[in-house]
Structure 1
């Protein structure tokens, strides 16, 4: 197959080849805006389940930013994040959050960094730091120092992985274009990321193959790092490779584990995702991820059947209607 090659990136907040007229003209500056002691979520973090709750990708991105910021505070720039595990403890509205990180083990060859997000009321004055509050999400991360210099490892040479990558489709997907899809705008799925379907889509159950890139900065006023980009995208495997539960409902994931073999290169991440389920209403979505240099790592997401009152995320309504129509015609 051809090597992967991305098309020229449109400016942040603008669309590619499709969905131009459907995207809101005014976009927030980033997924989050820094405030003393934490960060405030913007509308770009909005998820598909409800109009007021953040997408898991944005939560992962913020926790990834927190652990990476702590590494920089420690002056450690030589280590690479090998693993990031995020646990989402409750639904998180678009609101200010206190962000805290600490080094469990700061080391020369390995480091362990933890971070947490706490829900708080906005301070009465903008200069007051966010403090206290209920724990709503947490992360642990493992950082490793490479033992072989990059040039000596031969990583610059084109591998068979690169040669086998599918090309990045020229047309941007617009998850909110269908009349039956109820993605709120602006939102993470439709506006925060740029999605290019290779095989399958977020409206079709089963294995999916999709190139994705973050379309806005993670934190206002900062250039998003390669790790920050992949951390913000890692939750999307559950949308790329979703499937029905045994009772015909939807799954929702409670955690995300991102495992990286190396530092990401470039903006684009390829997700090859599928869901394995059990008759007990439990499942795991597993994704192999790559960038334009080849294999990058994996993502695992623990899943449980969502309560029936939650229904399906907006992007799955079309697939549900098609399934029910097919079943009634049999």
Structure 2
């Protein structure tokens, strides 16, 4: 399957119908030899979109997607397979599995809901964030290494503190080289960054990688910016939680949760 070779390099390049090759832009922050999960989450959402494209007029939209990270995400070619677990005209459940080196490394499940006109009762209690241009640029690469962090534009509130921050993020590169991607997949490709914007402790001294990412959406995101109103909590027994209200430039769109495993960095303790 060919892609536009003149297009700017994205986080991934398509190899065939189900296989993708990561570029340097997908490099992780904890380990240089691993994927950053954020763009991989977007790639999974794109694979789900492609799966649904085989059924024109299905009338379903993503309501929830939960990702479980099963093991190390080596920065190598990956395969993404999607299947329907529970078919339906109004509610449907899909499952996507990412395989690297013949080993499943991510398992995601997505609930799809039938669309309907509920604009007359639409309401969200969270106020919209101030626009991205009102936030100062934040040099996230000074705190976190890796190709992914260097490939995003981050604007963070000046009053951010340990465990609490608000930020806007956009990607400087496309999700897939030479291939159109839905606004939802592009949006989801940035959500996992939340765990790095409101850190409780210095990542040079403490590790707190997330084991999962669960996103609930009450409307489809629009535009090129992902807004994160994020709180990070560390418990007393090695567990943590990063919670975010998600926004686009029009207002809130949903919520995200990430469970963390908190432990000292071996080289620092």
* Cα deviations by residue, 1:40-94 (Å, 9 ceiling, x for unpaired): 1111001111211111102211211122221112335522111011111122122
Q: What is the match of residue 67 of structure 2?
A: 86
Q: What is the match of residue 206 of structure 2?
A: 249
* Residues 141 and 252 of structure 1, relative CA distance in 2, 3 Å threshold: same
Q: What is the match of residue 21 of structure 1?
A: none
Q: Name which of 140, 148, 173 aligns with 1:175.
A: 140
Q: What is the match of residue 46 of structure 2?
A: 65
Q: What is the match of residue 304 of structure 1?
A: 261
Cα offset, 1:233, TM superposition: 1.1
Conserved? CA contact 1:90–1:137, under 8 Å: yes
The answer to whether structure 1 residue 30 and structure 2 residue 10 are counterparts is yes
* Residues 282 and 290 of structure 1, relative CA distance in 2, 3 Å threshold: same
Secondary structure of 1:196's match?
strand
Q: What is the match of residue 196 of structure 2?
A: 239
Q: What is the match of residue 189 of structure 1?
A: 149
* Residues 200 and 139 of structure 1, relative CA distance in 2, 3 Å threshold: farther
Cα offset, 1:165, TM superposition: 2.5
Q: What is the match of residue 130 of structure 2?
A: 166
Of Structure 1 and Structure 2, the greater strand share is in 2
Q: What is the match of residue 213 of structure 1?
A: 170
Q: Distance in 1 between matches of 2:210 and 2:124?
A: 33
Secondary structure of 1:259's match?
strand
The answer to whether structure 1 residue 279 and structure 2 residue 225 are counterparts is no
Conserved? CA contact 1:49–1:310, under 8 Å: no
Q: Distance in 1 between matches of 2:163 and 2:137?
A: 21
Secondary structure of 1:48's match?
coil
Q: Distance in 2 between matches of 1:41 and 1:311?
A: 30
Conserved? CA contact 2:243–2:255, under 8 Å: yes
Conserved? CA contact 2:124–2:252, under 8 Å: no
Q: Name which of 226, 241, 246 aligns with 2:183.
A: 226
What's the TM-score once normalised by structure 2's chain length? 0.86
* Cα deviations by residue, 1:178-198 (Å, 9 ceiling, x for unpaired): 4xx5624xx11121x221112
Secondary structure of 2:180's match?
coil
* Cα deviations by residue, 1:147-169 (Å, 9 ceiling, x for unpaired): 226xx5376xx98866x521313
* Residues 200 and 115 of structure 1, relative CA distance in 2, 3 Å threshold: farther
* Residues 229 and 105 of structure 1, relative CA distance in 2, 3 Å threshold: same
Conserved? CA contact 2:34–2:73, under 8 Å: yes
Q: How many residues align?
A: 259
Q: Distance in 2 between matches of 1:183 and 1:190?
A: 8
Q: What is the match of residue 288 of structure 1?
A: 245
Q: Distance in 2 between matches of 1:160 and 1:253?
A: 28
Q: Distance in 2 between matches of 1:221 and 1:298?
A: 30
Runs of 4+ in structure 1 over 6 Å off? none
Secondary structure of 2:28's match?
coil
CA RMSD for the aligned pairs?
2.6
The answer to whether structure 1 residue 141 and structure 2 residue 96 are counterparts is no
